[in-house]
Amino acid sequence: MADGSDAGSCDFYLKELDRRLILRPVTFSRFYSICLSYPEYFDIFLASVVPKAADGGESVTCECIVQLRSYMLWQYGVRDSFENSYQYIKAIVHFFGLEIDYVQENRVDYCWHTNYLNNPEKFFAPDSFYKMRVDRFKNATYVTNKVGTEDYEIDYVALGKRSDKVFIRIYLKTREVIEQNYKPWFFQIWEMYGMISKYDKYVYEKCYERRSWFYRFRARLEFYAEHGTDPEYLEKIHKILNGNITISEDELIKLADKLTPKINLIVNVEYQTMRRHSKSYTLIPFKDYSNHGETARVYQYFDNRKLIIDYLTDKVFRMVEKTGNERKAPRPLCKFWKALCSTKCIDMRMTPAEARLVRNYNRRLNIDSMKKRVLGSAITLGIYTRGLNDDSPLQDAFDALMRFNDNDIFHAAQYKVKKLRQFNPEELADIYQGELQQYKLVDVNDFTLLNEETGEIIEYSSLIDLQNGGGQNDDKANL
């Protein structure tokens, strides 16, 4: 059932499952000490013991919680994501001879990605935001970041606490993707739905590769260097980018604003609702789900999503016009909130072509980012080993490769086993075609290494032998 020598995680197999799961050493919310993961799709958390109810009666804490990941939800939609993950739950329960008593929601997040706001700083400034907000939250938490020496941007606004029944946060999604360096596939989805332009996407990709939100100003200058026409500015920009001249952050921002348009910002409005809040919902039975057994409530919840959203965006928190009635509550919704409330609630599923496009884009951007990271590490290693030097980055990369001994390869092989378990096999099933087209490779393993001093040629098969039988000693590998 379980396999693997890695103490950190191992493969989990059941005959009824068409894919393996990964048993991970992750603890969630104190009680859930077992995690079975389908990377990038969902995580199953199991608790061997749950606390009793406050009155000492039967526990109201579920022994199993499933977290659906955003990548799966964006690809397959809510219903299909639930049904696909539930097949794994049923297989596990059946294997151990157990039964499922009931299925219910534990936490549901409602999110809107929007490019509606041209100036979030002005819109969400406290003196503006407090005139528009209608809610029962006592305060708001702000996170701001400095831009240049005197300006700022509002990165994050939160109402309530994460432990509350409802927690609301409004933040720059684009910045989160770039700085946390994950979910770059959002760039492709935003472009597909017309939320950002190819220019925006260009800038975001440059920032993602360097994991820097501030880099957007230099990225805009890079765009001008590729597409601009003014020879005087082009010469100046090339000198800035090459490091021949140095300018302050304020000058950099001013120049970028002068030569290129500002990028579209994607703001995420998110309601996090907990079971303590949703259990009080009276769901309208639009359809008869009595034949769905223990999952009936989940399907009723799906059917009631629009009504729940209307309640959250009106009764829990809404934004109204700044002027009008002396009392804020009767005022009409502001244009931004009216547009948000007008969005349709549909359960979309990507077509195979769309899913393939997003998958390949996600893979390409991560490849580009990783190549820069690997080369940067090789350069740093070269400085540590050979001191300050003028060798080319290519020489640094070769030197880094040649310094691996059999002990390094042995530990690297162990690390690779761990790393392979962190990725979704459907997303990385074969060679990335863009790499083949770029380098005209027939086989990624079709490489040899040449020792110029001895004339010795090391085939790829020799590296495989070293990996499979590498001992743990300090002798250098024959590379």
pLDDT one digit per residue (tens) for the chain, 479 residues: 544 444 567 888 888 887 789 898 888 878 899 999 998 999 999 998 888 877 777 777 889 999 999 999 999 999 999 999 999 999 999 999 999 999 999 999 999 999 999 999 999 999 999 999 999 999 899 999 999 888 889 999 999 999 999 999 999 999 999 999 989 999 999 999 999 999 999 999 999 999 999 999 999 999 999 999 999 999 999 999 999 999 999 999 999 999 999 999 999 999 999 999 999 999 999 999 999 999 999 999 999 999 999 999 999 999 999 998 989 999 999 999 999 999 988 888 888 888 888 888 878 877 777 777 788 888 888 888 888 888 888 788 877 777 777 777 777 777 777 776 666 666 666 665 665 455 444 454 555 666 667 766 666 555 555 445 444 444 433 33
Q: What is the largest CA-CA distance in the chain?
A: 88
410 shares its domain with 336? no
Q: How far apart are CA 56 and CA 364, in angstroms?
A: 54
- Is residue 88 a part of any domain in this protein? yes
Note whether 162 and 270 are within 8 A (CB): no
In a domain, 215, yes or no: no
- Residue 467 sits at the vertex; the CA angle it makes with 464 and 472, to the nearest 5 degrees, is 155
Is 184 found in the same domain as 272? yes
Question: Which residues lie across from 28 on neighbouring strands?
Answer: 32
16 belongs to a structural domain: yes
**Long-range contact set of residues 63-71: C-beta below 8 Å, sequence gap at least 24:** 64/89, 65/28, 65/29, 65/32, 65/106, 66/42, 67/42, 67/43, 68/41, 68/42, 69/40, 69/41, 69/42, 69/43, 70/183, 71/40, 71/41, 71/183, 71/185
Distance CA 415, CA 420 (A): 9
Domain that holds residue 78: 2-101
The count of C-alpha atoms lying within 13 angstroms of the C-alpha of 332, restricted to the half-sphere facing its C-beta, is: 6
| 97-152 pLDDT per residue, tens | 999 999 999 999 999 999 999 999 999 999 999 999 999 999 899 999 999 888 88
Do residue 25 and residue 119 come from a single domain? no
Report how many domains make up the chain. 3
CA–CA distance, 257 with 352 (Å, rounded to integer): 39
Q: Within this chain, do residues 120 and 169 fall inside the same structural domain, yes or no? A: yes
Domain contains 256: no
Q: What is the DSSP string of 352-418?
A: HHHHHHHHHHHHHHHHHHHHHHHHHHHHHHHHHHH-S----HHHHHHHHHHT--HHHHHHHHHHHHH
pTM for this predicted structure: 0.80
CA atoms within 13 A on the CB side of 248: 7
Same domain, 322 and 469: no
Of 348, 364, 385, which one is at a domain's C-terminal end?
348
